[in-house]
Amino acid sequence: MPHLLDCIGNTPMVTFSNIGKNHPQQFMGKCEHLNPGGSVKDRIALAIIDSAERQGLLKPGGTLVEATAGNTGMGLAIVAAIRGYRLICVMPEKMSEDKRQMLRSMGAEVVVTDNAPPDDPRNFQQVARRIAQERKNCFWTNQFANTANPIIHETTTGPEIWKQTNGQVSAFVTGVGTGGTITGVGRYLKRMNPNIQIILADPRGSGLASLVNTGQMGEDGAYQIEGIGSSVVPEVFDPSVVDFAVSISDRESFDMTHRLVREEGLLVGGSAGTTVAAALKAQPHVVGDGPIVALLQDSWDRYWSKIFNPSWMAKLKEQQAQ
């Protein structure tokens, strides 16, 4: 009989019925929000734990420690529950209260940090590393540097996209959190067809779009989209696989997220809005005539207090109008 962890991956691909219908190319969404834990991060959570167990880095009853925007934490919580590990999730305070409560409900200890830059000791990655060093029988899963991250996307997500489009995909679009997805998928698709374009969807305020397009990191800016964008280059991210980047504002991201829910019935979060908005903007620059595939990273159920809260959205629009 299938095990819950066997249900990770092999997510469906859907064609957008309404969004992009006036464009000459087909737009498709890779439904990673339908993984058991509600996000693409289920893939790396299982892969990282499998790898650590094979290497003898995890002891029975041990504790996993991860710096997470929430989604990797959810994936790790599922694996931890099934395999008998404890879990500590370290999250920046900008992440939604919904994610914190979901993780606590699954038995994780949640540590909330300031929204500090990467070189600040208060930064969530720095705090996670210290916790893993200071507490007994802890394993730092370290998604931002763990090579199991891009490898699982190169061996599963990329081949799935190739098969589901019958090898006709022209472009793949996603954001960078750790960079594992775009790196792994990009490597696989480029190996199958070097003409396939890999496109970065980046929040306006992240420095990665400038890095891809000009070779220099852009200046930091504030943005509300969770889980993607960075002021530093994540260790597992390989910018050489990316053809070009598109910057998307919070307003564009959230408007598209609501459109995906209302016009396509796709119950997704804000990073999916960023990705699909970038896919539409990128279309005139896509060389092939096959489908453009956008990754739908996570589920809407972790954003009730923000994106799908009218009061929060109204306050954000008021702030941005000032």
User: In whole angstroms, what is the distance from residue 272 CA to residue 261 CA?
Assistant: 11
Give helix 71-83 / helix 41-54 axis angle, nearest 10°. Answer: 50
What confidence score (pLDDT) does residue 39 get? 98
3-class state of residue 137 by DSSP: coil
Query: Tokens 């705090």 map to which residue?
Result: 127
Residues 224 and 195: beta-carbon distance below 8 Å: no
Q: Which of 199, 265, 255, 258 is nearest to 34 (CA)?
A: 265
Residue numbers annotated as active site: 41
Which amino acid, 17?
A: S
Dihedral of the alpha carbons of 244, 249, 250, 255, in degrees to the nearest 10? -90
3-class state of residue 306 by DSSP: coil
Residues 221 and 202: beta-carbon distance below 8 Å: no
What confidence score (pLDDT) does residue 73 get? 95
Q: Which of 305, 277, 246 is nearest to 99 (CA)?
A: 305
What confidence score (pLDDT) does residue 322 get? 63
Which amino acid, 22?
A: N
3-class state of residue 31 by DSSP: strand
Residues paired with residue 192 on neighbouring β-strands, in sequence order: none
What confidence score (pLDDT) does residue 241 get? 98
What confidence score (pLDDT) does residue 20 get? 86
Which amino acid, 310?
A: P
pLDDT in tens, 50-59: 999 999 999 8
pLDDT in tens, 31-46: 999 999 999 999 999 9
Q: Spell out the per-residue pLDDT of the chain, length 322, in tens.
A: 778 999 999 999 999 999 988 888 999 999 999 999 999 999 999 999 999 999 999 988 999 999 998 999 999 999 999 999 999 999 999 888 999 999 999 999 999 999 888 889 999 999 999 999 998 899 999 999 999 999 999 999 999 999 999 999 999 999 999 999 999 999 999 999 999 999 999 999 999 999 999 999 998 898 999 999 999 999 999 999 999 999 999 999 999 999 999 999 999 999 999 999 999 999 999 999 999 999 999 999 999 999 999 999 998 888 777 6
What confidence score (pLDDT) does residue 220 get? 86
Domains of the chain: 4-36+156-313 (3.40.50.1100), 41-140 (3.40.50.1100)
